[in-house]
Structure 1
Amino acid sequence: MKNNPLIPHKAKIIEVTAQTDIDITYKVESDLQPENGQFVQVSIPRVGEAPISISDFGGGYIEMTIRKVGSLTNEIYTLKPGDDLFLRGPYGKGFPLEQYKGKHLIIAAGGTGLAPVKSIINYFYRNPEEVARFDVLMGFKSPEDILFQPEIDQWAEKFNTTLTVDSATEDWKGNTGLITKFVADITIEDMDNVEVVIVGPPIMMKFTSLEFLKRGVPKEKIWVSFERKMSCAIGKCGHCKIDETYVCLEGPVFNYTKAETLID
């Protein structure tokens, strides 16, 4: 019998890793086989439910990086390894990973937008021969907001990575400035062989996309993910609907040729 998409299943927490004061990564037991960029609905009975991006996955587990923003996440933050969460999904349309293979792949991620693309970066970190070139741009508000610092250090060993913060104290020795500032520094030799993934706050995605368009990157080579609040995740409630588009069903990943028409 086919599983009911509205019924959650229990998932035991394997590992809890603090990223910042308000961001924690939960690794849970799961047989889900998601696409890169999909999300799950995470719940605690009698507390609530929320959509959470899958930040990584592998045999028998998935990872989710969860920000403390309300009653449900406050309750999740009390959980420890051995405790249970409840999941349903995965939902949505992910990134076309196969299309990126053999290409010059550029990922630009702002803030928590790094979470939905972390699994793509890790895939090509393990399989660097499958991309012609790989550039990763990452921007955060401050050094204290940086996610996945150990992984970022590892990525820098194999790829061209740029990490920047909007503002920092005097002891910060890295880049300072909006992520858009660094788009011009990327060498793009063949516009027909490039794919650009942009994920972050809406304003960041808008202006970063414009910077790549100024560089001559075709619209159909740009991909974005709409990190917006969803509800039922199966296109029944209409909470995520923009015009006639249900983001939870047709997205959250969109090609820019579609995304530019979605004005919320």
Structure 2
Amino acid sequence: MITNPYLPQPAEIISITKETTTDYTFRLKTDIQPDFGQFVEVSIPKVGEAPISVSNAQPGWIELTIRRVGHLTNELHELKPGDLLFIRGPYGKGFPKEQYRDKSLIIAAGGTGLAPVRNLINYYYQHPGEVRQLSLLMGFKTPEDILFKEDIEKWRSKFKVLLTVDKESPGWSGHVGLITNFVKDAVGENSSASRVIIVGPPLMMKFTSQEFIKYNIPEENIWLSFERKMCCGIGKCGHCRINDTYVCLEGPVFPYITAKNLLD
């Protein structure tokens, strides 16, 4: 029997968490067990479909953090616990976790780029001995845009965490400035032995990568996620194509030695 790769399965919404005014996290009942960094296709019949990174997962459920940006996501934000939406997947190649074992790992995430790495960070929170050290460098436009505030406070108990916002804001006493300003602090010593993951807007990934290389992180020790370029999930629509590379199939996670030729 030939199965239809476009056919989604219903998933019940278990809970909805409001992260910001425009970002909600949906916990869905499902048997899907994604690798770290993979994504699923989310749809509402007669409304549309969109690729969404998995922001957390445990046996029996996954979480998707979805920003209200258009017709489909507007409809998703009107749903309630107990409602159904439809998902298919998981798709794509995730983070090569085996290459981070016993290494110092730095994760740099900008804005909603924190969502695709949240599940991996939570894994290391539960299994801290798998990496020598984990450093988190996270940047948001404003304090109101910060995602996963409770998780960030939890992560501070085990990891080196540097959280920054782009500009001075009333009531904000933390770091101010772009992520690139703090790469040197995140790298520290023994940079050649560190591994780096970068996720965020294209320009952020481009200049953050260059900054890590400036501080002696080898290109082969850097990985980027092109999660914003995902589309149909199975390489048929062509919208994710960059040159001859299909991000849905060959990514969304790429080593920098490949990604540097894909950056716009």
Aligned to 1:59: 59
- Letter paired with 1:84: L
* Corresponding letter in the other structure for 2:36: N
2:249 is aligned to 249
Aligned equivalent of 2:133: 133
Secondary structure in 2 matching 1:186: helix
1:192 shift after superposition = 4.3
Partner residue in 1 for 2:259: 259
Partner SS, residue 49 of structure 2: strand
Superposed structure 1 runs of 4+ greater than 6 Å apart: none
- 1:187 and 1:218 map into 2 onto residues whose CA distance is 12
* Aligned position for 2:194: 194
Pairwise CA distance, 1:167:
1.5
Structure 1 residue 188 displacement after superposition: 3.8
Q: Deviations over 1:128-154 (max 9, x none)?
A: 111101100000000000000000000
**TM-fit CA distance, 1:233:** 1.2
Equivalent residue, structure 1, for 2:169: 169
Residue by residue over 1:16-41, the C-alpha shift from the partner in whole angstroms, topping out at 9 and shown as x without a partner, is 00000000000000111111111100
Give the CA deviation at 1:191.
3.8
- Specify the alignment match of 2:238 in structure 1: 238
Look up the match of 2:86.
Answer: 86
Q: Partners of 2:142 and 2:50 in 1: how far apart?
A: 26
Which residue does 2:14 correspond to in 1? 14
**2: CA distance, partners of 1:76 / 1:139:** 26
Aligned equivalents of 2:142 and 2:10: distance in 1? 36
- Show CA shifts across 1:177-200 (max 9, x none): 001111111244334431100000
TM-score norm. by structure 2 comes to 0.97
Q: Distance in 2 between matches of 1:20 and 1:167?
A: 18
The aligned amino acid for 2:204 is M
Structure-2 separation of matches of 1:200 and 1:174: 21
One-letter identity of the residue aligned with 1:113: G
Q: How does 1:211-230 map to 2 (within 5 A)?
A: 211-230=211-230
Count of residues in Structure 1 that have an aligned counterpart in Structure 2: 264
Same amino acid, percent of matched pairs: 60
**Aligned residue number for residue 117 of structure 1:** 117
Q: Deviations over 1:150-209 (max 9, x none)?
A: 000000011000000001323111111001111111244334431100000011101110
What amino acid is the match of 1:202?
P
Q: CA deviation digits over 1:49-70, x for unaligned, max 9?
A: 0010000101100000000001
